[in-house]
Amino acid sequence: QVQLVESGGGLVQAGGSLRLSCAASIGIFRRYSMGWFRQAPGKEREFVAATDWSGLNTDYSDSVKGRFTISRDSAKNTVYLQMNSLEPEDTAVYYCALDSSYPLRSPQRIGSWGQGTQVTVSS
């Protein structure tokens, strides 16, 4: 049973930064791709960023490219999402995702989800 626990969400003003963390309770974390999705009220869950098992390959949605950075620390079984230059449109619940495949752009194909962490960006 995989458990993904997110942290780091909160309220920030436009232009500010937040860093999300996701700790995975899985023994072979290094073999899995990790990613972040988000879901705003009334909208479908959408892809934000992902990294493959090695951490050397990353993928970003066009809306966050250049502002967000995904990274992983396999020694800590943790993936991070550094979010800079936040905009009110980034307000959503952010979900950590884990899967054996890569890329991770399709929510329907994700094997495991975290519980979500709220990010609110005020204008």
In this prediction, residue 36 carries a pLDDT of 98
In this prediction, residue 27 carries a pLDDT of 67
> How do beta strands 68-73 and 4-7 pair?
unpaired
In this prediction, residue 65 carries a pLDDT of 98
**Per-residue model confidence as pLDDT tens for the chain (123 residues):** 789 999 999 999 999 999 999 999 876 666 889 999 999 999 999 999 999 988 899 999 999 999 999 999 988 889 999 999 999 999 999 999 999 889 999 999 898 999 999 999 999
d(CA 100, CA 31): 7
- SS3 label, residue 116: coil
